[in-house]
């Protein structure tokens, strides 16, 4: 259904055509001249205007020429009683969509309006689609604009991160550097232009290392990992620097794979580490030398037990190792082995070297040596319980030992190991008051008295050690 305006100065034509159109289901309005027709058209909502051309005061051509200015979509059908080529062509030039010659029958007007309506609908649809398209275009442009801004901001951020990063960053393609940041240039002493396209071999102190590294990196990348390692680079001025290097795969937009490298100059740190290690080694050597010197001084006072401290130290260390103790604990046991009898320095050498049996008084003096040793050693800040192990090395599991009469877990593991090594070594060696009893006798002693006097685990470990290498420790 359409809204159709009929403009004609002839009332009979207006009414007849209106009637034809109403019968066809359309809504029809009427105007008797151009002026009133334009007034109605300005109200809007018309689909088709059917107008006579020749009317008093103004022509129908003038009507639709003006109407088109405020309603470009309205369809125009002109009617004339004087059909000439000039009239028809003028109407078409002015923008008429159809042309009817009077008298106009019912079919002719209905068909013409129907056609006009179809064209109008097509035009409306076209405009709707154009508007939609425009809207879509605009929103698309907005999205693109926003995304471009975000991307540019991110790109700028990444660029400044790349340039100003405090670590060297570069990209390698086919063993050549294709990008390098300021820090990487500074590290190797080349300009960014000199580095561009440069073979990576020239960066390494040993050029062939680059290929080895590339193969290792490819293997790591295949497992989904990255490669981190310490290596050495040669600067442009020939100076070799130590470098921590991290290589990660980078998928290129153009296709293929590159490698990003992150490099940190660790030369100063490594040098500091070496100095610390060197200092620690020297300190350890000094301490070891001092302990051996003290031990040697002790032996001079008690020549019958020469080598006892060293052998106890070695055997206790081996027992601890057999028991699976850490290297640090073993070091403490070894030192305690060397120093466990240091308290004998306070025992007169006549008693130490007395060939016969000792009386109670003399025994009491001898039995004071763990406490005296403890008092001496406690003044040294060992990181291991050397003084404690010295104090407890004559304690026994059943509480029969001295000086504290401690039992089982009251005795520290270092002292329990030391006790086994001390007894086995002492029984295997000569003493002023008796000849050596021998290794087998010593082993039998600790085996029989394990759990009552000696730590069973230490005893078992000691037997295993002595059976494995009988000549090494005694
Ligand atoms: Fe002792």
Q: Determine contact, residues 288/397, Cβ cutoff 8 Å.
A: no
**Sign of the C-alpha dihedral computed for residues 431, 437, 440 and 443 taken in this order:** negative
Q: Which of 470, 441, 465, 446 is nearest to 456 (CA)?
A: 446
State phi, psi for 174 to the nearest 5 degrees. Answer: 50, 50
The enclosing H or E element of 232 equals strand 227-234
368 three-class SS = coil
| Cis? peptide before 88, omega within 30° of 0 | no
| pLDDT value of position 459 | 94
Q: Look at strands 48-52 and 75-80 and give their pairing.
A: parallel
CA–centroid distance, 118 to ligand 1, in Å, is 122
- 349 or 137, which is more confident: 137
Mean pLDDT of 104-108: 92
| pLDDT value of position 432 | 61
At 1, the pLDDT band (50, 70, 90 cuts) reads: confident
pLDDT digits (tens, 9 = 90+) for 308-345: 888 999 999 999 999 999 999 999 999 999 999 999 88
Lowest mean pLDDT among 72-86, 168-182, 422-436: 422-436
| pLDDT value of position 68 | 85
CA–centroid distance, 419 to ligand 1, in Å, is 9
Whether the predicted pLDDT of 205 surpasses 70: yes
CA–centroid distance, 367 to ligand 1, in Å, is 8
Share of the chain above pLDDT 90, in %: 59
Mean pLDDT of 3-18: 94
| pLDDT value of position 231 | 93
CA–centroid distance, 258 to ligand 1, in Å, is 69
Residue whose entry in the numeric block shows the structure tokens 């003084």: 387
CA–centroid distance, 393 to ligand 1, in Å, is 7
CA–centroid distance, 194 to ligand 1, in Å, is 73
Whether the predicted pLDDT of 187 surpasses 90: yes
CB count in 10 Å sphere of residue 260:
15
Q: Which of 98, 120, 88, 112 is nearest to 20 (CA)?
A: 112
Whether the predicted pLDDT of 434 surpasses 80: no
Q: Average pLDDT of the chain?
A: 90
| pLDDT value of position 38 | 93
CA–centroid distance, 228 to ligand 1, in Å, is 53
At 287, the pLDDT band (50, 70, 90 cuts) reads: confident
Tokens matching residue 268: 């100063």
Supply angle C-alpha 155, 160, 163, rounded to 5: 120
pTM above 0.75, yes or no: no
Whether the predicted pLDDT of 380 surpasses 80: yes
Mean pLDDT of 281-300: 85
At 8, the pLDDT band (50, 70, 90 cuts) reads: very high
Mean pLDDT of 107-121: 92
How far apart CA 412 and CA 391 sit, in angstroms, is: 10
Whether the predicted pLDDT of 436 surpasses 90: no
At 347, the pLDDT band (50, 70, 90 cuts) reads: confident
How far apart CA 395 and CA 376 sit, in angstroms, is: 19
| pLDDT value of position 303 | 67
Share of the chain above pLDDT 70, in %: 97
Query: How remote is the C-alpha of 336 from its chain's centroid?
Result: 47
Domains of the chain: 3-128 (3.40.50.2300), 165-265 (3.30.450.20), 298-473 (1.10.3210.10)
CA–centroid distance, 311 to ligand 1, in Å, is 13
Q: Look at strands 98-101 and 75-80 and give their pairing.
A: parallel
How far apart CA 79 and CA 59 sit, in angstroms, is: 11
CA–centroid distance, 469 to ligand 1, in Å, is 25
CA–centroid distance, 373 to ligand 1, in Å, is 9
CA–centroid distance, 91 to ligand 1, in Å, is 135
CA–centroid distance, 359 to ligand 1, in Å, is 18
Q: Which residues contact 345 (CB under 8 A, 6 or more apart)?
A: 297, 298, 301, 372, 376
Mean pLDDT of 452-474: 87
pLDDT digits (tens, 9 = 90+) for 268-285: 999 999 999 999 999 888
How far apart CA 386 and CA 250 sit, in angstroms, is: 56
Mean pLDDT of 109-120: 92
CA–centroid distance, 464 to ligand 1, in Å, is 23
| pLDDT value of position 394 | 95
Q: Determine contact, residues 394/426, Cβ cutoff 8 Å.
A: no
Burial class (CB in 10 A: 0-12, 13-18, 19+), 66: middle
- 388 or 469, which is more confident: 388
CA–centroid distance, 341 to ligand 1, in Å, is 5
Q: Determine contact, residues 362/354, Cβ cutoff 8 Å.
A: yes
CA–centroid distance, 326 to ligand 1, in Å, is 25
pLDDT digits (tens, 9 = 90+) for 20-57: 999 999 999 999 999 999 999 999 889 999 999 888 88
Q: Determine contact, residues 13/40, Cβ cutoff 8 Å.
A: no
Query: How remote is the C-alpha of 83 from its chain's centroid?
Result: 87
| pLDDT value of position 441 | 83
79 three-class SS = strand
State phi, psi for 243 to the nearest 5 degrees. Answer: -135, 135
CA–centroid distance, 2 to ligand 1, in Å, is 125
The enclosing H or E element of 240 equals strand 240-251
Whether the predicted pLDDT of 473 surpasses 90: no
- DSSP structure class, residue 43: T
């Amino acid at each position: 259904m359409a809204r159709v305006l009929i403009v004609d100065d002839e009332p009979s034509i207006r009414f007849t055509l209106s009637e034809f159109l109403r019968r066809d289901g359309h809504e029809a309005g009427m105007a008797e001249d151009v002026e009133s027709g334009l007034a109605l058209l300005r109200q809007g909502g018309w689909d088709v205007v059917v107008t006579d051309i020749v009317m008093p005061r103004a022509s129908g051509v003038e009507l639709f020429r003006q109407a088109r200015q405020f309603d470009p979509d309205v369809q125009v059908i002109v009617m004339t009683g004087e059909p000439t080529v000039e009239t028809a062509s003028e109407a078409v030039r002015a923008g008429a969509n159809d042309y009817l010659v009077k008298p106009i029958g019912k079919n002719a007007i209905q068909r013409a309006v129907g056609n006009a309506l179809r064209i109008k609908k097509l035009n409306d649809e076209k405009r709707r689609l154009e508007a939609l398209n425009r809207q879509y275009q605009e929103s698309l442009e907005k999205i693109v604009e926003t995304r471009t801004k975000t991307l540019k901001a991110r790109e700028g951020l990444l660029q400044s991160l790349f340039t100003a990063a405090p670590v060297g960053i570069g990209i390698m393609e086919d063993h050549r550097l294709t990008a390098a940041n300021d820090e990487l240039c500074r590290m190797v002493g080349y300009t960014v232009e000199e580095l561009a396209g440069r073979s990576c071999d020239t960066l390494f102190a040993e050029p062939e290392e680059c290929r080895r590294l590339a193969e290792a990196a490819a293997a790591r990348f295949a497992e989904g990992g990255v490669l981190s390692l310490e290596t050495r680079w040669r600067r442009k001025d020939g100076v070799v620097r130590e470098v921590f290097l991290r290589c990660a795969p980078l998928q290129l937009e153009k296709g293929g794979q590159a490698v990003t490298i992150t490099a940190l100059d660790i030369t100063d740190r490594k040098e500091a580490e070496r100095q610390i290690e060197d200092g620690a080694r020297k300190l350890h050597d000094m301490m070891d030398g001092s302990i051996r010197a003290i031990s040697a001084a002790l032996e001079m006072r008690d020549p019958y037990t020469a080598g006892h401290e060293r052998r106890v130290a070695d055997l206790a260390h081996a027992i601890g190792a057999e028991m699976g103790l850490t290297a640090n604990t073993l070091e403490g046991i070894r030192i305690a082995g060397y120093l466990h009898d240091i308290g004998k320095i306070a025992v007169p050498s006549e008693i130490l070297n007395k060939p016969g049996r000792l009386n109670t008084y003399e025994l009491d003096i001898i039995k004071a040596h763990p406490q005296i040793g403890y008092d001496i050693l406690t003044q040294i800040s060992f990181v291991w319980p050397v003084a404690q192990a010295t104090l407890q090395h004559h304690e026994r599991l059943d509480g029969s030992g001295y000086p504290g009469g401690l039992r089982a877990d009251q005795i520290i593991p270092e002292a329990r190991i030391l006790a086994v090594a001390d007894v086995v070594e002492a029984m295997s060696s000569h003493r002023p008051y008796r000849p050596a009893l021998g290794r087998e006798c010593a082993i039998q002693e600790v085996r029989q008295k394990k759990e009552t006097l000696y730590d069973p685990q230490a005893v078992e470990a000691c037997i295993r050690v002595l059976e494995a290498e009988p000549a090494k420790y005694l």
